[in-house]
C-alpha cells in the first residue's frame, strides 16, 4: 500500500478517483471470471492509474491520454509492480489493433489492460463505440452500468480487498527516496510529452528548448521525430545565442508563431521555409504561471516539404495545450524538489536526513540476513563545541557545511552510496555494496577535502562492515559508532580507519537511537 498512501497524501482527489476505478474494475473483472491474482493486480492498477500525478501535477479531466498511462506505468514498474505496470501501460490498446502505445490486439493485450479499458469506457462511451473492447467486456460493462454500486470510500476498502485476494503488499519495499527517484526524471517526462506531440500533430519533428537567460542562450533539451544526421535526441550542447534569434524575446514574452505555405505567404517566409526544407513550422512558448520570469522555454513542431503535410491554426492550438502539459510537468518537478528539501533533507547541509538513513540501512538487511560487504561510516566533527564557544554558532555551522561538502564530494558518482546528517556534529555514509573497497577511499578523500582550507580541522570516522552475526541495522550502526568513538578518543589529526566486523559489547557512549534498531 506504499504507493496508494503516497497518492492519497499528494492528491486525495486522485486517490478517490482511483478507488472508484478500482471498484469498477472489481465488478467488471469478477463478471468476466478473472482469477484472484488477476483481480488483485487489476484493481491495484485501476487505483494507481493516476500515479503519474506525482510527476505532472496535471489534474485536468482527460481520460484519453496514453502518455499519462505510460508515465504511470514507469512509476509502477519502479516499485516492482510489473503486472500492474503492464495493465496501465497498455490500457489504450484496441481489441482490433491500432491502439497505443505499441498496437497490440486481441489476447496479446494484457488482461488487466483490457479490463482498465472497460473501466475507462464506463465514463467515456466513445471508447466502447469505437470498438476498443472485446465482446465479453462490453457485456460485463453493460451489466455493471445496469446495477450501479456505491464507490469505495477509503484505502481501507482497497486494503481489505487485497488481503482477501492474498496479494502481497502493494509497493512493498518501495521507499520515499525511490518514489522520488522514479518521479523526478524530468527529462523522461519531457521526452514522453514530445513523443505524444509528434503523434497528435502528425509532425515531422518536435523539439523542446529552454531559455538560459544567464548565458543568453536557447538550449535544446529534446528532439523527437525525424532527425538530421548530426541531430541528437537528448543533445547536451545544442545551444543557440539569443542574439541570433530576434524572435526569441517575443517567445520569452509569450508570443507564438505559425509559418506555412499559402497563397498569401510572404516571400521572406517562403525563403525561410525553403532554406530549412520545411513545409510549415509552429512555435509556442512554455509558460510557467507560477514564475514571473517569463516563458521557461519553447516547443516547436515542423513538417518537412516531402511529407506533404502543413500545420494549421488548429494544430497551433493543440501545441498550446501540449506546452501547458510541459509547464505542469516542470512545476511538478519543482514542487518535488521543494518537498524533498522540506521532508527529506537536512536544512543546513542539504544532505539526506535520518528518514533516508533508516531507509538506506533497511535495504541492507533482509529476512535472510545482511547484504554481503555493505558498510556504514560514521563521522564526527572534532572540536565543534570549541568552534561554537570561541567563534560563534555561525562559524560552527560553516564547519558543518564544509564537512558535508567533503563527504558529498568524496562519494560523488559512487553507486549505492548515501550520505546523511544524523544530527549535531555527526554524519553517516551508507554503502550498499563494495564496502571494503569504497570505505577507505571515501574517508581518505573526505578528510583531505575537509582539511584543505584549514589544516587544523579533523573528523573522526569509524567504519563497520556487515557480517553474518548481524540481524538488524542497529547492530551495524553500533559497530560503526564503536570504531568512530575509538578514533574520537585517540584525537588523531591524521586519518585512522578501523574496520569493525564485530559490534562488540555496548560502549559507554551508546546512544539510545542506536539501541535495538
Task: For the chain, give the number of residues.
Answer: 517
Cα 456 to Cα 3, 426, 453, distances in angstroms: 48, 18, 9
Query: CA-to-CA distance for 161 and 155, rounded, in angstroms?
Result: 10
Q: What is the dihedral of CA 261, 264, 268, 273, to 10 degrees?
A: 0
Query: CA-to-CA distance for 291 and 431, rounded, in angstroms?
Result: 39
pLDDT in tens, the chain (517 residues): 556 766 776 678 888 888 888 889 999 999 999 888 888 889 888 888 877 665 554 555 454 467 678 777 877 776 677 888 889 888 888 888 877 777 788 888 999 999 998 888 887 766 555 566 788 888 888 888 888 777 665 667 666 666 666 544 444 444 444 444 444 456 777 887 888 888 889 999 999 999 988 889 999 999 999 887 778 888 888 999 988 888 888 898 889 999 999 899 999 999 999 999 999 999 999 997 766 677 899 999 999 988 788 999 999 999 998 898 888 777 766 666 665 566 678 889 989 988 889 888 988 887 566 888 899 999 999 989 889 999 999 999 999 999 999 999 999 888 889 999 998 899 999 999 999 999 999 999 999 999 998 888 889 999 999 988 888 899 999 999 999 988 877 755 444 444 444 444 334 444 443 443 4
Of 316, 304, 313, the C-alpha closest to 204 is: 304
Q: Where does 367-505 have alpha helices with state H?
A: 384-391, 393-411, 435-451, 473-490
Task: Write down the CATH number for the domain with range 187-342.
Answer: 3.30.450.40
Q: Could you say which of 1.10.1530.10, 1.10.3210.10, 1.20.210.10, 1.10.10.10 is the CATH number of the domain covering 2-183?
A: 1.10.3210.10
Query: CA-to-CA distance for 111 and 128, rounded, in angstroms?
Result: 17
Three-state DSSP at 118 gives helix
Residue ranges of E strands in 205-333: 205-212, 217-225, 239-241, 257-260, 278-287, 295-304
**Pairing mode of beta strands 205-212, 217-225:** antiparallel
Query: CA-to-CA distance for 322 and 248, rounded, in angstroms?
Result: 19
In the chain, what are the domain boundaries?
2-183, 187-342, 354-514
| CA angle, 131 then 133 then 136, to 5° | 125
**DSSP states along 466-491:** --TT--SHHHHHHHHHHHHHHHHHHT
Cα 478 to Cα 174, 378, 417, 507, 512, distances in angstroms: 26, 10, 19, 9, 10
**Pairing mode of beta strands 369-370, 375-381:** unpaired
Query: CA-to-CA distance for 199 and 100, rounded, in angstroms?
Result: 10
Q: Could you say which of 3.30.70.270, 3.50.50.100, 3.30.420.40, 3.50.50.60 is the CATH number of the domain covering 354-514?
A: 3.30.70.270
**pLDDT value at position 461?**
92
Please name the helix (run of DSSP H) or strand (run of DSSP E) that holds residue 136, with its range, or none.
helix 135-146
Please name the helix (run of DSSP H) or strand (run of DSSP E) that holds residue 381, with its range, or none.
strand 375-381
Q: What is the dihedral of CA 157, 163, 169, 170, to 10 degrees?
A: -40
Sign of the dihedral through C-alpha 314, 319, 320, 325: positive
Amino acid at each position: 500500500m506504499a504507493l496508494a498512501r503516497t497518492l492519497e497524501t499528494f492528491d486525495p482527489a486522485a486517490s478517490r478517483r482511483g478507488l472508484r476505478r478500482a471498484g469498477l474494475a472489481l465488478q467488471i473483472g469478477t463478471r468476466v471470471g478473472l482469477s484472484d491474482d488477476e483481480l488483485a493486480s487489476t484493481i491495484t492498477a485501476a487505483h494507481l492509474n493516476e500515479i503519474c500525478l506525482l510527476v505532472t501535477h496535471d489534474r485536468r479531466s482527460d481520460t484519453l491520454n496514453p502518455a499519462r498511462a505510460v508515465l504511470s506505468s514507469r512509476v509502477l514498474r519502479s516499485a516492482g509492480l510489473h503486472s500492474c505496470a503492464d495493465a496501465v501501460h497498455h490500457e489504450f490498446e484496441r481489441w482490433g489493433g491500432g491502439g497505443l502505445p505499441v498496437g497490440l490486439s486481441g489476447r496479446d493485450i494484457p488482461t488487466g489492460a483490457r479490463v482498465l479499458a472497460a473501466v475507462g469506457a464506463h465514463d467515456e462511451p466513445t471508447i466502447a463505440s469505437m470498438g476498443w473492447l472485446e465482446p465479453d467486456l462490453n457485456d460485463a460493462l453493460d451489466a455493471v452500468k445496469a446495477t450501479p454500486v456505491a464507490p469505495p470510500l477509503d484505502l481501507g476498502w482497497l486494503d481489505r480487498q487485497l488481503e482477501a485476494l492474498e496479494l502481497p503488499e502493494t509497493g512493498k519495499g518501495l521507499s520515499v527516496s525511490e518514489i522520488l527517484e522514479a518521479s523526478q526524471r524530468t527529462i523522461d517526462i519531457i521526452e514522453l510529452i514530445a513523443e505524444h506531440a509528434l503523434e497528435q500533430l502528425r509532425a515531422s519533428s518536435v523539439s523542446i528548448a529552454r531559455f538560459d537567460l544567464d548565458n543568453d542562450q536557447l538550449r535544446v533539451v529534446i528532439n523527437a521525430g525525424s532527425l538530421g544526421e548530426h541531430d541528437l535526441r537528448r543533445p547536451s550542447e545544442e545551444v543557440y545565442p539569443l542574439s541570433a534569434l530576434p524572435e526569441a524575446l517575443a517567445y520569452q514574452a509569450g508570443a507564438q508563431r505559425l509559418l506555412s505555405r499559402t497563397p498569401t505567404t510572404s516571400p521572406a517566409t517562403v525563403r525561410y521555409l525553403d532554406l530549412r526544407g520545411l513545409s510549415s513550422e509552429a512555435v509556442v512558448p512554455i509558460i510557467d504561471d507560477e514564475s514571473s520570469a517569463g516563458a521557461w522555454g519553447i516547443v516547436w513542431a515542423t513538417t518537412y516539404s516531402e511529407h506533404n503535410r502543413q500545420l494549421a491554426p488548429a494544430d497551433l492550438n493543440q501545441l498550446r495545450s501540449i506546452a501547458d502539459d510541459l509547464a505542469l510537468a516542470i512545476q511538478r518537478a519543482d514542487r518535488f524538489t521543494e518537498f524533498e528539501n522540506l521532508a527529506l533533507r537536512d536544512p543546513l547541509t542539504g544532505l539526506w536526513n535520518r528518514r533516508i538513513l533508516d531507509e538506506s540501512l533497511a535495504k541492507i538487511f533482509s529476512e535472510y540476513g545482511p547484504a554481503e560487504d555493505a558498510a556504514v561510516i560514521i563521522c564526527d566533527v572534532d572540536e565543534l563545541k570549541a568552534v561554537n564557544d570561541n567563534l560563534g554558532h555561525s562559524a560552527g555551522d560553516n564547519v558543518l557545511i564544509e564537512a558535508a561538502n567533503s563527504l558529498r564530494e568524496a562519494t560523488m558518482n559512487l553507486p549505492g552510496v548515501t550520505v546523511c546528517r544524523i544530527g549535531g556534529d555527526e554524519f553517516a555514509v551508507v554503502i550498499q555494496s563494495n564496502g571494503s573497497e569504497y570505505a577507505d577511499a571515501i574517508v581518505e578523500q573526505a578528510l583531505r577535502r575537509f582539511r584543505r582550507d584549514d589544516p587544523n580541522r579533523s573528523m573522526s570516522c569509524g567504519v563497520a562492515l556487515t557480517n553474518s552475526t548481524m540481524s538488524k541495522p542497529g547492530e551495524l550502526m553500533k559497530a560503526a559508532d564503536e570504531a568512530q568513538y575509538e578514533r574520537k578518543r585517540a584525537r588523531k589529526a591524521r586519518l585512522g580507519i578501523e574496520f569493525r566486523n564485530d559490534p562488540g559489547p555496548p560502549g559507554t557512549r551508546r546512544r539510545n537511537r542506536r539501541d535495538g534498531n
